[in-house]
Amino acid sequence: MSAVQPVQRIARLPSEGEPAYGFATLRARALDWVQQASGAQWTDYNLHDPGVTLLETLVYALTEEIYAAQDEVPALLGLGAEDPDAAARRFALHGPEAVLRHRPCSALDQLAWLHAQQPAPRHADLSALEDGAGRPLGLWSWRQLGPDRQPPAALRRQAAALAQRYWRQRNLGEDLCGLPELLRPHWVRLQVELEVDEDHELIGLLGELVRGCDRFLAAMPEPAGPHLPPPADELLRVQSGRLYVSDLARALRRVPGLRSIERLLLSSVDPAQPTPAPAGAAAEPEDAQALLWRGPGWGMRLCWPERAADLEGWKVRRGGALLPLPAQELLHHLQDLRRAGKAGAAPLNGAVATGSTPGRPAVAPEPVPRYDPASRQLPEVYREPLALRWSSEQPTHLPPGQRAQWAGYLALLEHPLAQLRAQRLHLDALYDIENPDPRSYWCERLNAQQLPGIEALYLPPAGDEAHFGSDLLAGHEPGAERRARALDQLLALHGEQLDPTPLQDLPRYLDESAWALRLLDAKRRYARLLLDLTGERHAGFDYSQPGPEREPERAAPLQRRLALQLALLGGPLLSQPLQEAGLLPLEPPPRPPSPATLTEPEDEAWQVLTLTPGDGAEPAEPVPLAEWLGAAGGDAALLRAAAQPQAFACRAEGSHWLLRVGPDAEGRSWPLGRFASAEAAARRAQALLRALCRLQLRSEGLHLVEHLLLRPGAADQRPETLDDFFRQHLTLVLPGWTARCADPRLRSLAEARLLEAAPAQLRCQLLWLGAASLQRFETLWQAWLLAKRAHCQALLEDAGVAGAQRRVDERAATLVAWLRGRVSDA
């Protein structure tokens, strides 16, 4: 007889492992409450009692969302394999390879970046230039081996294409000193005498030997491992200008199957000549004789064997016996190796890929299914009282409204459960940085199909659909503020925060709800740009492409970071709103003090108006600010005072009403006209307040100027004689005339944020300009940016370079002359 197998049972969860609000805990607590409520009448029960069935269904419904909330984060956010980029795109949840990016900073970092380019460069070197005292200038000199037998124009275009790679990844306050130098190849031929092992295939071994020698002579460092950069000692080795043949022999001994190198010879040769002309040096493996690896304008390169004559002098032994060399098979194998190496190299031309790949199209979210009431899980007999199930022919004797009362009891159970479920299912919308909706609560309105009789309980009447569901909650909950707190959690995962607290007491130009939406939008933008604003915040902008003069999003990450932290989100031309309003002529004449300014004691007859700044939206009809303000429109103090809602007041004078704005902090007031009634004066004040707040909101932003980019580009200009004005110096230009930017608290906050985020080696300065000065700066700045981009394009096309260089130098000199006095006086 076979032994009886024990019955398999599901082990009970220990009480200490049950969640505090889990099913078993809540069920035991509910039964305890029922027993206490029954008192002496409680006797016993079994699991089939109707009351226990109802109780367990209720407990299951109450705890379902508790267990659902314990899902993994990807499941709660709706992330799946069908859209692998959604975590980074929608929730700023980046992988370690993206978060731990290393921006090149030191000379070795730059050299490692250079050797990571494709195709792999030969004899590549990127070195920092210094002045006579050994101080870095921020300029880099790039050289690498170029192609052989190319016309000068083609070499210049390829050098410009290489420079464009640097422009895309350069650091703030740094630049290339001219185009990269392309070295001409100095060809050398290899001759060897080897001893190989018994069990290795000869053709493959010799192929690896030639390929390893080619990499070593080309000064290409060996990486530390798969997908890892070269170690520092490798970078220092290839940066040296001398080649030790003993080092070459030591590196070649790593080829599998190679026992020893008896003799190694490198000889100079012109590949166009059929007979080699020895002009180099030979050395035994142990000899420490050094060769010049590269020199002025040239770099060593191996000439691969292409004919049987090129293999003369090659001797291979195995076990002391000289082996016959299969010349044709070896030449075919070497040709395949060279062809495979060229196939893996990217072409070098002006259209160098940036390394970014287009993202996958976003997957449309699935519609959220309707809530399934918990009461439907009950057996049919328990779903409603028996009296409610009688037919109309039977006497019911029910009190009036009992059916509605039962529906109300069910609603008290089902509505909270439905809303808990709705919140969980919309958790992805709460944290989604691509979601512009400020809602933070979601409500599913139950209908008659889910709960019969529920429509009669809704107030106002069920016909008014617009006031129910999520719209009702959205109008009565601080959605933008709560969503902003959710985004704070995403930023905190990266050690970042966008704290608006220091901005709360400054002029806002918006009402409370619009200000909250603006801050929410700033946090969403900050989260979307998180990688650029953190690990890449010391990057410079690519001046060869359309940049900050067209779109602030193309500016340097440091500039965008400060703009979001200070809520200065205007641009790209900050003086344009004033010009459009007619308050800033292109060449403004010097303005005397406005004769309309009043300085008088406060009169109690003035009635302060109650105004709201609005949401910053454009009005249906443009406001003629220049006409309404008259001569006083050129006074920045008036514009700052008019940004305060409590600054407008009116008083009666005969049959008319006078309107004024002020007094400001200095006691100045400005009359704004006479009106037929107090209502007309209030309408004018309201329109002026919103127009001037919108004007200043659009006029606040910043520009970042790297002085090094404005240096003279003359060919006879020696880098070590560079003026101190251009060395590691940044200037941030901001409007100083608006209500917020004129506030000392914002200026102190801007200095603190700049010191936190700017590179430590750069001298950073804030320059606050008036409206006319800012307009002049932007004219010069934009002219230089356009000339600089045209010069880069001329370099890439090798056409009109001299004229483009002259224009960019002239515009840079004009901008530098304008900046020098103001920067020194700031």
Q: Dump pLDDT digits (tens) for 436-472.
A: 988 888 888 888 888 887 887 777 654 555 555 545 4
Q: Is the pLDDT of residue 349 over 50?
A: no
Highest mean pLDDT among 533-537, 653-657, 763-767: 763-767
Quick: pLDDT tens for 191-237. Answer: 999 999 887 889 999 999 999 999 999 999 988 877 788 898 889 88
Which residue, 511, 486, 514, 510, is CA-closest to 498? 486
**DSSP single-letter state for residue 285:** T
Quick: pLDDT tens for 400-416. Answer: 677 778 788 888 888 88
Q: How confident is the model at residue 10 (pLDDT cuts 50, 70, 90)?
A: low
DSSP-based three-state secondary structure for 592: coil
Summarize the confidence of residues 799-804 as an average pLDDT: 93
Residue with tokens 């519609």, as numbered in its chain: 367
Summarize the confidence of residues 776-796 as an average pLDDT: 95
Q: How far apart are CA 81 and CA 71, in angstroms?
A: 17
Summarize the confidence of residues 802-826 as an average pLDDT: 88
What percent of the chain has a predicted confidence (pLDDT) above 90? 42
pLDDT value of position 491: 94
DSSP-based three-state secondary structure for 94: coil
| 356 vs 47: which has the higher pLDDT | 47
Name the least confident of 86-90, 476-480, 572-576. Answer: 476-480
Q: Is the pLDDT of residue 486 over 70?
A: yes
Question: Is the peptide bond preceding residue 460 cis, with omega within 30 degrees of 0?
Answer: yes
End-to-end CA distance of the chain: 101
pLDDT value of position 167: 94
Q: Is the pLDDT of residue 373 over 70?
A: yes
**DSSP single-letter state for residue 584:** S
pLDDT value of position 279: 37
Summarize the confidence of residues 646-675 as an average pLDDT: 90
Summarize the confidence of residues 644-662 as an average pLDDT: 91
* N residues, the chain: 826
Q: Is the pLDDT of residue 522 over 80?
A: yes
Q: How far apart are CA 655 and CA 578, in angstroms?
A: 35
Name the least confident of 188-192, 284-288, 522-526. Answer: 284-288
Summarize the confidence of residues 552-570 as an average pLDDT: 93
Count of C-beta atoms within a 10 Å radius of residue 34: 14
Q: How confident is the model at residue 717 (pLDDT cuts 50, 70, 90)?
A: low
Name the least confident of 42-46, 217-221, 483-487, 566-570. Answer: 42-46
pLDDT value of position 11: 62
pLDDT value of position 352: 38
Tokens standing for 196?
Answer: 């190989």
Angle at 811 between CA 780 and CA 182, to 5 degrees: 130
Q: How confident is the model at residue 350 (pLDDT cuts 50, 70, 90)?
A: very low
Q: How far apart are CA 455 and CA 407, in angstroms?
A: 10
pLDDT value of position 465: 54
Angle at 82 between CA 81 and CA 87, to 5 degrees: 65
Q: How confident is the model at residue 487 (pLDDT cuts 50, 70, 90)?
A: very high
Backbone φ and ψ of 641, nearest 5°: -65, -35
Summarize the confidence of residues 672-689 as an average pLDDT: 93
| 134 vs 399: which has the higher pLDDT | 134
Q: How confident is the model at residue 775 (pLDDT cuts 50, 70, 90)?
A: very high
Count the alpha carbons within 13 Å of 704 in the hemisphere toward its beta carbon: 29
Q: Is the pLDDT of residue 357 over 60?
A: no
Backbone φ and ψ of 271, nearest 5°: -65, -15
Which residue, 632, 614, 637, is CA-closest to 691? 614
Q: How confident is the model at residue 149 (pLDDT cuts 50, 70, 90)?
A: confident
Name the least confident of 58-62, 270-274, 415-419, 548-552. Answer: 270-274
pLDDT value of position 475: 52
Average pLDDT over the chain reads 83
Give the contacts of 5 (CB within 8 A, at least 6 positions apart).
none
Tokens standing for 676?
Answer: 């037929």
What percent of the chain has a predicted confidence (pLDDT) above 70? 83
Name the least confident of 36-45, 309-318, 324-333. Answer: 36-45
Q: How far apart are CA 697 and CA 684, in angstroms?
A: 20
Cα 24 versus chain centre, distance: 47
Q: Is the pLDDT of residue 570 over 80?
A: yes
pLDDT value of position 148: 84
pLDDT value of position 347: 43
Name the least confident of 44-53, 186-195, 245-254, 785-794. Answer: 44-53
The secondary structure of 26-90 as a DSSP string is HHHHHHHHHHHHHGGG-----TTSHHHHHHHHHHHHHHHHHHHTTS-HHHHTT--TT-TTHHHHH
Q: Is the pLDDT of residue 796 over 90?
A: yes
Residue with tokens 């709800």, as numbered in its chain: 513
